[in-house]
Structure 1
Amino acid sequence: MSALSYDQLLHLAFRTPDDAARFLTEPATTAYADFERAPQTDLAFRFERVRLGVAMALMKLLADLGDHEESRRVLDVLHKATRARSVADIDATITRDAKLFERLYTNLYVNEEGELLLNLFERTLDADSQPLMDEAIAEALEVAGELDFSPDDEHDDED
């Protein structure tokens, strides 16, 4: 069920054909199944790939929810990291652009949905076990199914 939930989350986040073609590459789409089949020696790397996929989905949802450029930049870094061949390469890719992650939270206005996505993003980055990651995926999948991406401004009047 977890690989299925992971796949559903990716497809909810990257719902347009252009987004799917760009972001739903083989390393991203097979990450959870690869993790489940990984030998003990490769487990950490495969887990990091799952983390990247979930984090990418959350950043895409946040970017689409508020047309937020910083989220798009972080998404690009995460996507670049999916091409890494080791945990050290993933860390190096993320570290090179650490300032983008810091700016993600600077001067950012988010509504309740955006705040929930950011909290899930943090939980994804902090998850250090399969059960914690599965919880984050399940919650992200639930939230993604309920988000309203309509361009109307009715939510802006609620203060």
Structure 2
Amino acid sequence: MSARNLQLLLETAYDAENPQVFEEGAATVYKQFEEAYRSYIKTNKTTEELNFRFERVRLGMAIAFVKAYTRLSDNETSVEALQILQEAINAKSSKEIDKIVQKKIAVFDNLYHEIFVNEDRQQVLALFEATLDAGSREELDELMIEGLQLLTMIDFEHHAQQDDDDEPLDEDFLKSIQ
């Protein structure tokens, strides 16, 4: 179920069927995490493999939330944050993921400067933050469901039209109609 939820979360965030976030597909990434988790349950030993698979699922969710935020805000900072996460998704270890993200951590702090008074953006960023803080499979699964519920309720088209309406009027145009 959660493999499908991860896929649906990404599809909803990107507004596209099968967005190419993971080379092998989101469902496969989640299933690889489940396999590593089952191995952990049997042996009761945490491995780098489990940590890496967990980080990839968490990154996929973070990408979904930042992509949704980008669709709502359409600003440079969110696009840059998305690019960093997409670069990190190709890392071959947890340490490499951390290195990529930590190198440009200030970009993520800047996301919060541009939320203005927009409840949808605030909620998406709250889920992004909760995803980064998540430390268990259960937390990720719960956040996936919350994310799906939120993203399916947001009217992205309305936000796009609203952003178009917020553009300042051309000064020459204003002078010509006076």
TM-score by length of 2: 0.78
Unaligned runs of 5+ in 1: none
Q: Is the 8 A contact 1:27 1:83 kept in 2?
A: no
Distance 2:118 2:81 in 1: 19
Name the counterpart of 1:91: 98
Which residue in 2 is equivalent to 1:117? 124
Corresponding residue number in structure 2 for 1:153: 162
Q: Is the 8 A contact 1:82 1:90 kept in 2?
A: yes
Per the TM alignment, residue 134 of structure 1 is displaced from its structure 2 partner at its CA by: 0.7
1:16, 1:3 → 2: CA distance?
17
1:21-56: CA deviation from partner (whole Å, max 9, x where unpaired): 4x3432655321110012432111100000000000
Report the residue type matching 1:25 in the other structure. E
Q: Percent identity?
A: 40
How far 1:3 sits from its partner (Å)?
0.9
Tell me which of 66, 81, 85 is aligned to 1:74: 81
1:20 paired to 2:27: no
Deviation at 1:70, TM superposition (A): 1.2
Cα distance per residue 1:64-90 (max 9 Å; x no partner): 012122111111111100111111000
Greater C-alpha Rg: 2
Greater CA drift, 76-85 or 37-46? 37-46
How far apart in 2 are the matches of 1:108 and 1:138?
A: 23
Structure 2, unpaired ranges of 5+ = 41-46, 167-178
